[in-house]
Structure 1
Amino acid sequence: MDYVAIIIAVLGTALGAIGTLLVQYFINKQQYKLDYYRNIIDKRFKAYERVEVLFRLIMSSYGGSLGMINKIVYDITDDPDSYNDVRKQYDSVFEMSMWINDKTGELLARFNELIVCYKYYIEHLDIDNRYLYFKDYYNKYIGCTYLPIITEYTELLNKRLDKNTIMKYISAEANSIAHQLEKSLANDFKSFKDVEWFLNRYDK
């Protein structure tokens, strides 16, 4: 009988130890997952801090309803190299683009491409070919379902438009992108806690 009691005691101790180890294992596993998720969220916050700097640069107040967008367009018209300061912040953002939601990344790229096409248009000396930059942008984004190109943009393919009208339409298209970007950023911040969705977004 004593042997039975001893065996039961030993088994009880062993099972208790195993149970403790299992509980500790699952606690550690859960903690590792939480730490991993926290690290991803932290990287995303750092990426979006750069996006916010860029967005404030784009939308900061500068006379007129279009804000900084007008300044970017008019500065490039007067001095195409002036875009380089804005481009530096774009480069900083795209260094961490893998931590940014797809739609926000696409909108940032689209804004950048519009300004680059406009910059190339100004720098190109061949009047018969430089409008092709506007056409390339049009062909690339005309099928975008969540943000159609403004209707006036098609007039940019007309070679007889005056400089002020061209600047006006480029600013209006840029402004449309910027406001859609503002909405996208708000939605992105809401999704930060859903790390699994972010990690699995390409599996669908």
Structure 2
Amino acid sequence: MTIALRPSGAALVLFVAVLPIAAQAQTADREAMAAERAAMTKLAWMDGVWRGQAMMQTPAGERRITQTERIGPMLDGDVRVVEGKGFNADGSVGFNALGIISYDPAAEAYTMHSYAQGRAGDFPLTPTDAGYVWTIPAGPATIRYTATLTDGTWTEVGDRIVTGQAPQRFFEMRLTRMGDTAWPTAGGPGAQERKEVGGVR
């Protein structure tokens, strides 16, 4: 048995009004995408696999780990994906974080979308001539990470900044680039899979 339903006038008007919005949401903004890719080239030096040593100050004292980073573009260069993983002396994972760096052409601003240790947030990032700076608000303080690339070495330091006080350094890492990586785009659908998804065989 079927029941014919007749939409009310208000529902029909709402449906028609939403159609252009839905269509616009599905349309690529190629100008914005081009601006994103151009902006992200400032961070292309990060791409690849990196390895080195990291030191951090904790309530229990100084802690040292072997730090690795793997970085690569996604969305055809619109964003950069960063995974940092630190290993203890016994080989166990002591730290793991994921970041997605993006650029907003409308705001003319970069953002680090960070996920680490059960915490997540969006934080401002600013490319510099030698690297980048990104900051995290922490109550009355600001956590500032400053990265520089010098002679093939990626150095990044973390400082706790409080107005009227000297910066307190709590983190430092020094990495060497080990090589290229196809991550994170590797392993996606190949040409044949893309054809099948599109219904063309």
TM-score scaled by length of structure 2: 0.27
Larger C-alpha radius of gyration, 1 or 2? 1
- More strand per residue: 2
**Which protein, 1 or 2, shows the higher relative CO under an 8 Å CA cutoff with sep ≥ 6?**
1
